[in-house]
Chains A and B, each alone.
Chain A
Amino acid sequence: MSEDDERQQSPPSDLEFVSNKARNCNATGSGSGHPEFQSAYPDQVLENVLENVLHFLTSKRDRNAASLVCKSWYRVEALTRSELFIGNCYAVSPARATARFTRVRALQLKGKPRFADFNLMPPDWGAHFNPWALAMAKAYPWLEKVHLKRMTVTDDDLATLAELLLGFKELVLVCCDGFGTSGLAIFVNKCRQLKVLDLIESEVSDDETDWISCFPEGESQLESLIFDCVECHINFEALERLVANSPSLKKLRLNRYVSIGQLYRLMIRAPQLTHLGTGSFSPSEIAGQGDQEPDYVNAFAACKSLVCLSGFREIIPDYLPAIYPVCANLTSLNFSYANITAEQLKPIISKCHKLQVFWVLDSICDEGLQAVAATCKELRELRVFPVDPREDGDGPVSEVGLQAISEGCRKLQSILYFCQRMTNAAVIAMSKNCPDLVVFRLCIMGRHRADPVTGEPMDDGFGAIVMNCKKLTRLAVSGLLTDKAFDYIGQHGKLVRTLSVAFAGDSDMGLKYVLEGCPQLQKLEIRDSPFGDAALRSGLHHYYNMRFLWMSSCRLTPNGCQEIARAMPRLVVEVIRSADEEEMDDAVEILYMYRSLEGPRTDLPKFVTIL
């Protein structure tokens, strides 16, 4: 299919692109490593001007719009796009992407849908980086940056990146899997210009390879090294040498196998750090009774640029006072792996006046949240995770904590809150007190749980959120919800792009309200809700505008899904069974559908059928 046809399709393509501001200096396209642009067009001057201008275009939506103006603009925009963002790796093929965009320096790819994180999708579903790795290595030998989310990356892929991309600088893997320490070893060894290696919430298998010592000797350009999710021992002496050789290192997040004593040794070598993940934050060698412990307070005090602190993976709270010197400057604090009490939190949080991002465990209870509300007036993002992630576990935080936060943190933009009980009143209060909310994710862990005070469903609470929070783009609902809640969302959630629904609603009407009412909806993930084929049909007008729709354990039938597939040829409609089932029977267990320029993918596992 030619590029012209591509452009004429009315639904926007799933390719979203961003320009790299730093590329301004190479506006004429004659930077090092670039192939010279051979022009056959009479208006060369005009095109050069256009090229210069388009370099300033940064937003991917602006770029998409620019590419639709005319052929000339399309061509120049494609040439000047240096950052390629693909929200669904199956929406477009590597071949098509590399054909259109020839000067890409940075690639961002997303693979599996989010519900795969919660074991709702059988393993080996797909989202393999491999075809992309090979295509990039051929088409963009100057590629500098790759950012992947929820993709399967193999050791070979890492080797490909390192061996074939000579100027490679930045690798960020978020929620990825499929590789191990041996892949990392090859990667860090061959990437001589590496500046960033960020492994975030990824599964890294322990092949017992000492990858840290595979970094090349001598001075390194490393600016960021994040490996807090890597669950294996590391060679500390090699790490210490690496940190000592990395004068530009700003971000360092250690895994839980690094003790506090080792942390100390690293910190004194890198006082320039801005982002620090502390590792275990407990001693490994148990210090003898008389041994001198290093001056941890001093080490923290020396880090005058520290703004982001995380880690505390196996915290011994006695050591917490060590961080007092940095609290006043912190803008981000992640205690979400630290099982600490309100009393242990208070002396810290009372010093964190500049805090904007705070992640914490509910072990701090409502009382701890009240302390946060009292001090953190600049708070933009709050995430409260459960120590006991069970439906009927203890509930140390509740509507009391949420109310307090809403009253104290008026600038709140994003909240993720796990709890066992919540009232409509508290949610309504938050909707009024925090008008800047963009992300509201409330997870009442007991399914179908009503307002414990009134006995009512949680409809009014969520209704107030969509009514009062005019900037809301992301919403996750929970608790006992009727179709009314969805009516509210459809009526007022006009900017909502991502919606997560679980165990909610009464009938098809619920889903209809949302599909008919929310024009900006891009990502809809639903599980265990009574929505069926009729509801699915009501979204036909909108599915090409969405990145994906996920529905699991709902009331869909193969016929209903087939209907959608027939009506919309550019939609890939996947029906996924849990791995041990053989045939499709009357019910569709998982429906995952997404727009795509490529049609059915060729790497289907046997438990997936494309209709």
Chain B
Amino acid sequence: MEVNYENGLNLKATELRLGLPGSDEPEGQTTPRPNKRTSSEISSSGLTDDGNDDHQASAPPAKAQVVGWPPIRSYRKNCIQAKKNEVEGGTGRYVKVSVDGAAYLRKIDLHVYGSYPELLEALEKMFKLTIGAYSEREGYNGSEYAPTYEDKDGDWMLVGDVPWEMFISSCKRLRIMKGSEARGLGCV
């Protein structure tokens, strides 16, 4: 047991640690390591979900993955990973929601809702505003607010135009616009 007296301090004696008094842990590893495994130990990146961080708090911690195992090329892993984040069930589908005029954003899990009416109702409740009814021809004309979303291609679209399943897989974020600004969107 090393006792550091350089500064006149016996740090070890005053050290806080768990364990019975008198017990001591060996300083570092003294056993030879013929089968050194640094490179195959827990990887820091790339192998576990790199997508939505938010849902991992509720999911059980992933078992530590070994580097390069199973032997799948990263290109393939990344493609499948991206897909997994889009497929419903299991992983959440969290997107940011901003409202014009509001100071900060919220985040919701699209998978929690089964349809547009459910989603819109939840948004109305969350932000205490009225969105009104959607019509194919007029969009949300007449409403105070209109919900829009950014899709995979980076375009801003009106919520409700496409089938729900397609919306879930292509929606990257939501923005609830003031009705006056949204007027342009609903028109043919």
Give me the interface of A with B, judged by CB distance under 8 Å. 115, 117-120, 175, 201, 203, 229, 284-286, 288-289, 313-314, 316, 336-337, 339, 361, 385-392, 418, 443, 445, 447, 500, 502-503, 527-528, 530, 532, 552-555, 557, 578, 581, 585-587, 589-590
Contacts and interface: CB of A to CB of B under 8 A. Distances in A.
B128 interface: no
A389 B72 contact: yes
29 contacts: A118-B69, A118-B72, A120-B39, A284-B152, A286-B161, A286-B162, A286-B166, A288-B161, A289-B161, A313-B79, A314-B83, A337-B76, A337-B80, A385-B76, A386-B70, A387-B84, A389-B72, A389-B77, A389-B80, A390-B63, A391-B66, A391-B70, A528-B37, A530-B35, A553-B35, A553-B36, A578-B38, A581-B38, A587-B35
Contact of A201 (B35, B75, B152): B75
A531 to B, nearest CB: 10
B143 interface: no
Contacts of A585: 36
A409 to B, nearest CB: 23
A392 B63 contact: yes
Nearest to A115: B68
B69 A502 contact: yes
Contact of A589 (B39, B63, B76): B39
Contact of A119 (B62, B74, B76, B84): B74
Contacts of A553: 35-37, 39-40
B73 interface: yes
B33 interface: yes
A120 B72 contact: no
Contact of B39 (A392, A502, A578): A578
Contacts of B71: 115, 117-118, 443, 500, 502
Q: Decide if the interface of chain B is mainly helix, strand, loop or mixed.
A: loop
Q: Decide if the interface of chain A is mainly helix, strand, loop or mixed.
A: loop
A391 B65 CA distance: 7
B69 A447 contact: yes
A118 B66 CA distance: 11
B36 A118 contact: no
A456 to B, nearest CB: 22
B83 A554 contact: no
Contacts of B37: 528, 553
By Cβ-Cβ distance, the 4 closest A-B pairs, closest first, are A118-B68, A587-B36, A286-B162, A578-B39
B21 interface: no
A336 B83 CA distance: 12
Interface centre among B34, B47, B70, B72 (most CB of A within 10 A): B70
B150 interface: no
Interface string B22-33: 000000000011
Interface string B123-151: 00000000000001000000000000001
A560 to B, nearest CB: 11
A555 B75 contact: no
A229 B46 CA distance: 18
Contact of B69 (A175, A289, A388, A391): A391
A443 B34 contact: no
B183 to A, nearest CB: 19
Contacts of A203: 75
Contacts of B170: 286
Nearest to B153: A284
Contacts of A589: 36, 38-39
Given A120-B39, A203-B75, A284-B153, A389 B70 contact: yes
Nearest to B167: A286
B185 interface: no
Nearest to A394: B90
Contacts of B33: 586-587
Interface centre among B69, B72, B84 (most CB of A within 10 A): B69
Nearest to A338: B83
Nearest to A419: B70
A339 B68 contact: no
Nearest to A233: B153
Nearest to B86: A314
